[in-house]
Amino acid sequence: MPDTFDRSVVFSDGAYLFLADGRLNGGTTFTDLVPVLPDSSIEIWAIAGTQRDGSASVVTWTGPASASPLFRFAQPPTLLEPANGAGGLPVDAELSWASATPGAAEADVDCWSESDRSTFLHIRLVTGESSVRLPDLAAFGLTYPPGAQCYWSVVRGSQLRDVDSYLGAASRPALPSSRTTEFSDVRWFYPP
């Protein structure tokens, strides 16, 4: 069941009119008055399972204002290796996770120098598996920032059935639609 939800009116040209956000306070249903405007639909973002570690499941539903959507949430990915705070990793260290949902996953790695926060590196790795290896940055003429610390997390979603659909995913699905996105917690490590 969702913890929080947002509502917006979405116009056919892509414009949004944000209505409000709210809390269900333990309930499983909500009824809300929304304006019915010409050439528009309603978009609801519902967030469930937000944990202390930041993991969560998000459902986005878009459809007519008169609809009664049913939200189905999925378990967020669980990060496995490396352990939080790991150091001395090999150059091609493997990042792994467990997930109850199939499909493409996006592993995001953000690194910066602890002494100079302006030196920053972002790596986005897309896979159909449950693990990725860090790339050889030298092959791209890059290095980790000096004295770097890195954070990593994983995002999976129902609209990302495989890597090909991820790479060609439209920013806005056809109406009406429903999609889920699962966000793992965040871990940090010291790169090689």
Residue 172 domain boundaries:
78-189
CA dist., res. 7 & res. 32, Å (int) = 9
Q: Is there a single domain that holds both residue 59 and residue 82? A: no
The CATH number of whichever domain residue 165 belongs to comes to 2.60.40
Q: Does residue 25 surpass a pLDDT of 70? A: no
Which residues are CB-neighbours of 2 under 8 A, at least 6 positions away?
24, 46, 47, 48, 59, 71, 73
Question: What does the pLDDT read at residue 28?
Answer: 59
Q: Is there a single domain that holds both residue 58 and residue 100? A: no
Mean pLDDT of 25-43: 67
Q: Is there a single domain that holds both residue 103 and residue 29? A: no
Q: State pLDDT tens for residues 100-152.
A: 777 788 999 999 887 877 778 899 998 888 999 999 888 888 888 888 889 99
The whole model's pTM is what? 0.71
**Mean pLDDT over each residue of the chain, to the nearest integer:** 77
Mean pLDDT of 155-163: 68
Q: State pLDDT tens for residues 58-102.
A: 777 777 767 777 777 778 889 999 999 998 888 889 999 998 777
Mean pLDDT of 32-58: 72
Question: What does the pLDDT read at residue 160?
Answer: 61
**Cα 137 to the chain's mean position, in Å?**
25
Q: Is there a single domain that holds both residue 52 and residue 91? A: no
Q: Is residue 71 part of a domain?
A: no
Mean pLDDT of 13-32: 65
